[in-house]
Amino acid sequence: MSLRYLARRLASAAITILLIVILNFVLFRMMPGSPERILLGRIPNVSGEVVAATRERWGLDKPLFPDQFVAYLAATAQGDLGFSYGARGRPVTDVLLQKLGPTLLLFGLGELIAIVLGLALGAYSGWRRGGVLDHLGNGLSLILYSTPYFLLGMALLLIFATGLGWFPTFGIDTVGRVYSGPLDQIADIGFHLALPLATVALGLVGQYSILMRSSIVETLSEDYITTARAKGLTEGRVLRTHAIPNALLPAVTLIAINLGYVVAGAITVEVVFNWPGLGTLTVDALSSRDFPVLQGVFLLLSVGVVLANLVADLTYGILDPRVRT
Amino acid sequence: MRSPLTRRVRPMLAAMLLLAPTLIMAGGAKAQDQLVLRVGTDQKLETLNPWQSITYADYEMFSIQYELLVSFDINLEPAPGFADSWSTSADSKTHTFHIREGMKWSDGEPATCEDARYTYQFVLDVLASDDGYVGSGYLEPYLSSAGLESVECDDAGNLIATTSYPTTLLTQAYVPILPEHIWSQYSQQEISDATAEGYFANEPPVVGSGPYHAVEWVPGESIRMERNPNYWGTPGVPDQIVFQTFESVDTMVQALRSGELDYVRGTGADQFDALATEPNIRVAEGYANGYTYLSFNTRATEDGYGGSTSALEDQAFRDALGYAIDRQTLVDRVLNGHGVPGTTHVPPYHVDWHVEPDNPRTFDLAEANRRLDAAGYARGDDGRRVDKDGKPIVLRLTWPDSEDHSADAQFIQGWFEQIGIGVDAAVTEEGALLELLPGPEYDDGYNADWDFYMWGWGGDPDPNSLLGLFTTDQIPQAVNDCFYSDPRYDELNTLQQQATDEATRKEYVDEMQQLFYDAACYHVLYYDSELHAMRTDKFTGWTNQPPDTGVPLFGFGYPGYMLLQDASAVPTEGPPTAAPTAGESPGTSPTPSAAPAGAGGGVDSTVLLVGALVVIAVVGGGFLLMRRRRPAEEEE
């Protein structure tokens, strides 16, 4: 991979992030309503002076440009995303960090399971195209792919939590439970994780399997596969060493893009299982017009996507010599 | 060469297969010796600093952890709190509170009159400061409206409070008594401003004097409380109380059904009806201490105001509109019956204070038409009425996006159309609406550019705060948003605040309700119910506060928690329906008498969802199989 290629990718990612930061500022200043009224709510006995003091306290009394804009850029660069209205003035960075872990756990694991299962299923379906597993697998993949998360999640919740009582309905752990050891605690979290994780994995598995299947099918008509077979390699060997590595390229793109969204999570899964992650936070920030938090979430999400794309580009460079320049 | 994919996949799959049953088994074996009361709420648990309280959930958190000077019992009557007895001088301006002897804070420090004095003096200092308020600004008015002037402790451990006028409101003051040895370390700024350096968030373990105190807090998510070992009264039965926030009410209700929660605050109307038929679950429908209203811009075309027609300024016009609102239909259709049609601005929750007006406006479109004709609003050629400036009347109706009033708006639009009044209905973002409402008295640049709008108010155990919203001096504060101004009302408000005899005060309060009703500045649409639900197989003794019209928890003070009993410890004598329990109280309770049609929605939705998924799977799968068959055959 040439240095020039690397430098170009990095520069373009940096510019994108800067543009996002600027867009973020503009977008949230265009929202209706004034933040200080939201801050104060409908407090009886609030005088104009108090409103003015609030504006000053939150820096809303200065002109949007350049004062507020410059202050915003400087603060963002230092990782200071302001204070959350909804969390009564806690720093947005704290709020985001608190929620980031659970989301990464849920979606990191969910992606991993979906990738492994999806790619394996897709590869096998494509390989045995027209077989029983292909029909079942492909049909199931399409159904799962097209089922909204909240529906899938609610169904799992109603069946396995409320109905059968096998799993808890909500949260990441049992609040107030005294653990006998770290293993006990991990087990409790795993127990709470099961249903949301199943929802995420099932929801994503279809995408990967469908993509991998068609990619394999395409690869199979390539000359080098015929050559491999002509060399007398076993079918399994042809699949593993010749078909799959070549068919993986589009999957890498999809994985990279999806990894970017890991941060955003599937908002609805988190809400259904009351999972204390960024998705739940986003819904709540939206409904309480917590603009600083929303702004932080947007920033985190878009930076995540940009970085994931950067990783995809770089991985491409390694995997496919044709894009190295 | 083996592919890297297979090399990694196999151990991972193996690990997952091995891990899964272990997790399920380990998680399933729950070892819980402690009796934990688990409470779900739709409101976020964002603060443990009482001065920052805004929501019902915030108030509940400090109500359990701290004593009020005088608390509330299950009937909402004054009850011993931080003080065990109290008396008032003959002129009702000097109030003596005897602080209970031998009390300790949860950290073992003595709890004395000094703590009460510190807390009240802190409020007085806040009121005298430049800011004039602390934190969210919700608690100080309890003392300022009582006219508190000074507090001191005498040698006998009594708190002596002096007020500038005679009052009984001090026993209603909803201000938690805080431990001086903790809070006096912080400045007003550090207590008030959450973004300030050194802000005091009152992190757990909270030092309090109430029956339970917070020991664990995940901001926005959950608060866990343990028994306060130094609580002065009989300890509560639950060893712990866990409060948990839910983003989705559906999930919260499912958690109650599965037994992971014992109590939920804020179910939706359909979930409530479904829960009513579930075994081991009891529902409680309480009068809300508040109301939903229509407010009119009564200074519509006055100088500096932005209303669309002068008709809004005419009491006769607004009065006539009141006959074109079918409040019962709104309750039935919008609230699924979980509410009471509205009349005056003191809701029936205040059993002792609410009065029905002498001349209620009952739904009668003919009467509305007759009154509009009589008031001189004739219909134009197109059937639309014109105002006295000759302009067709089309009123703009709005409401905040934080509440769903679109159904109410549609009904009102339909009725008003029939009396020749056009209505343009549209929702407004809450912050924008708050900006829109005030008139020029509030501040430069405000011009009340609206005609009429919907929202709600909530009150305290005492009707004082609800009454005080509509005095003339609240217009520049942007609280009195219909610009109601009547010197008699203002005078009565002062009189009722200072009345020390309940019968006399009731006369004033009655007259205020009638005056405000007659002015037709607000049309109170309905008093929507509080919908709560609880399990009866873990705890019994759920008692409404007040018994006839309230709900067991999220009331005032903490009596509901102290009456709970361990269901497994109660000798089984039929269904565990102890004396005055929730949801089945007779008389004025708006509780639905029987499960209405459409009940069982919880079960139905399960079946529906699963059924839908099966159907999708079968149809989708079959379709795919059929489509796939042909090319597959060709390939063979």
Runs of H (alpha helix) within chain A? 3-29, 35-40, 48-57, 69-77, 92-127, 132-146, 149-156, 182-220, 223-230, 235-237, 244-261, 267-272, 278-287, 291-319
Q: Please, are residues B158 and B123 in contact by the beta-carbon 8 Å criterion?
A: no
Contact call for A191 and B24, based on CB within 8 A? yes
Burial A235-269 (b: 16+ CB within 10 A, else e): eebbbbebbbebbbeebbbbbbebbbebbbbbbbb
Same domain, A73 and A106: no
Burial (Cβ within 10 Å: 0-12, 13-18, ≥19) of residue A282: buried
Which one, of A34, A85, A234, lies nearest residue B438 by Cα? A34
Task: Tell me if residue B152 falls in helix, strand or coil.
Answer: strand
Out of B13, B27, B429, the one facing A33 most closely (by C-beta) is B429
Contact call for B133 and A57, based on CB within 8 A? no
The DSSP code for B488 is H
pLDDT for res A265: 60
pLDDT for res B353: 93
* Residue A301: partners with Cβ closer than 8 Å, 6 or more residues away: A260, A261, A263, A264
Distance from CA of residue B57 to its chain's centroid? 8
Same domain, A272 and A211: yes
Kindly indicate the confidence band of residue B237, based on its pLDDT and cuts at 50, 70 and 90: very high
Contact call for B435 and A34, based on CB within 8 A? yes
pLDDT at B180 over 90: yes
Q: Which of A175, A177, A188, A282 to mutate to test the interface with B (most CBs of B within 10 A)?
A: A175
Contact call for A276 and B218, based on CB within 8 A? yes
Residue B590 counted as domain residue: no
pLDDT tens readout for residues B580-630: 343 333 333 333 333 333 333 333 444 444 555 555 555 555 444 444 444
CA distance B620 to chain A (A): 7
Count of structural domains within chain A: 2
Q: Which of A39, A157, A274 to mutate to test the interface with B (most CBs of B within 10 A)?
A: A274
Which one, of B78, B66, B86, lies nearest residue B159 by Cα? B86
Interface contacts (A, B; CB < 8 Å): 246
Same domain, A25 and A116: no
Count of structural domains within chain B: 1
Q: Please, are residues A263 and A278 in contact by the beta-carbon 8 Å criterion?
A: yes
Looking up tokens 């948003």 gives B481
Question: What is the CATH number for A291?
Answer: 1.10.3720.10
Residue B361 counted as domain residue: yes
Tell me the CA end-to-end span of chain A in Å, nearest whole number: 7
pLDDT for res A33: 60
Q: Please, are residues B474 and B439 in contact by the beta-carbon 8 Å criterion?
A: no
Residue A95 counted as domain residue: no
Q: Which residues of B touch A289 (CB under 8 A)?
A: 429-431
Residue B607 counted as domain residue: no
Same domain, A61 and A107: no
For A239-288, give the DSSP string.
Answer: IIIIIHHHHHHHHHHHHHHHHHHTTT--HHHHHHTT--SHHHHHHHHHHT
Same domain, A31 and A176: no
Contact call for B133 and A129, based on CB within 8 A? no
- CA–CA separation, A195 vs B532, rounded Å? 27
- CA–CA separation, B102 vs B209, rounded Å? 12
Beta strands at B36-41 and B263-265: parallel, antiparallel or unpaired: parallel
Q: Which residues of A touch B218 (CB under 8 A)?
A: 98, 175, 276
Q: Among A41-50, B78-87, B398-407, B415-424, whose mean pLDDT is lowest?
A: A41-50
Between these two residues, B354 and B22, which has the higher pLDDT value? B354
Same domain, A115 and A195: yes
**Mean pLDDT over all residues of chain B?**
85
Residue numbers of the domain that contains B455: 290-528
pLDDT for res A283: 86
Between these two residues, A127 and B96, which has the higher pLDDT value? B96
Out of B5, B19, B606, the one facing A163 most closely (by C-beta) is B606
Between these two residues, B142 and A55, which has the higher pLDDT value? B142
Residue A203 counted as domain residue: yes
CA distance B367 to chain A (A): 36
Q: Please, are residues B243 and B222 in contact by the beta-carbon 8 Å criterion?
A: yes
Contact call for B254 and A184, based on CB within 8 A? no
Same domain, A146 and A22: no
pLDDT for res A323: 65
pLDDT for res A1: 57
Residue A94 counted as domain residue: no
Q: Which two tokens stand for residue B149?
A: 């002037």
Amino acid in position B101: E
Question: What is the CATH number for B422?
Answer: 3.10.105.10
pLDDT for res A50: 65
pLDDT tens readout for residues B482-503: 999 999 999 999 999 888 888 9
Which one, of B239, B261, B238, lies nearest residue B251 by Cα? B261
Contact call for A44 and B468, based on CB within 8 A? yes
pLDDT for res B632: 36
pLDDT tens readout for residues B444-454: 888 999 999 99
Out of A169, A190, A287, the one facing B254 most closely (by C-beta) is A169
Domain boundary among A77, A93, A115: A77
ipTM value, please give it: 0.83
Looking at chain A, which residue has its C-alpha nearest residue B218?
A: A98
Same domain, A203 and A143: yes
Same domain, A112 and A218: yes
- CA–CA separation, B222 vs B243, rounded Å? 5
CA distance A16 to chain B (A): 31
Residue A129 counted as domain residue: yes
Same domain, A240 and A305: yes
Residue B412 counted as domain residue: yes
Q: In degrees rounded to 5, what are phi and psi of residue B99?
A: -80, 130
Same domain, A118 and A73: no
Residue A66 counted as domain residue: yes
Residue B90 counted as domain residue: no
Contact call for A169 and B255, based on CB within 8 A? yes
Give chain A's residues under pLDDT 70.
Answer: 1, 31-51, 53-54, 57-58, 262-265, 323-325
Q: Which two tokens stand for residue A68?
A: 């507020």
pLDDT for res B592: 34
pLDDT for res A35: 62
Residue numbers of the domain that contains A60: 3-77
Same domain, A128 and A63: no
Residue B508 counted as domain residue: yes
H or E stretch at B243: strand B240-245
Peptide bond into A66 cis (omega under 30): yes
CA distance B352 to chain A (A): 24
Q: Which of B188, B247, B464, B469 to mutate to test the interface with A (most CBs of A within 10 A)?
A: B247
pLDDT for res A61: 75
* Residue B153: partners with Cβ closer than 8 Å, 6 or more residues away: B112, B113, B114, B116, B117, B159, B160
Burial B71-82 (b: 16+ CB within 10 A, else e): bbebebebbbbb
Contact call for B131 and A50, based on CB within 8 A? yes
Residue A155 counted as domain residue: yes
Residue A83 counted as domain residue: no
pLDDT tens readout for residues B10-65: 444 444 444 444 444 444 444 447 899 999 998 889 899 999 888 889 999 999 99
- How confident is the model over B217-233, as a mean pLDDT? 94
CA distance B455 to chain A (A): 11
Residue A82 counted as domain residue: no
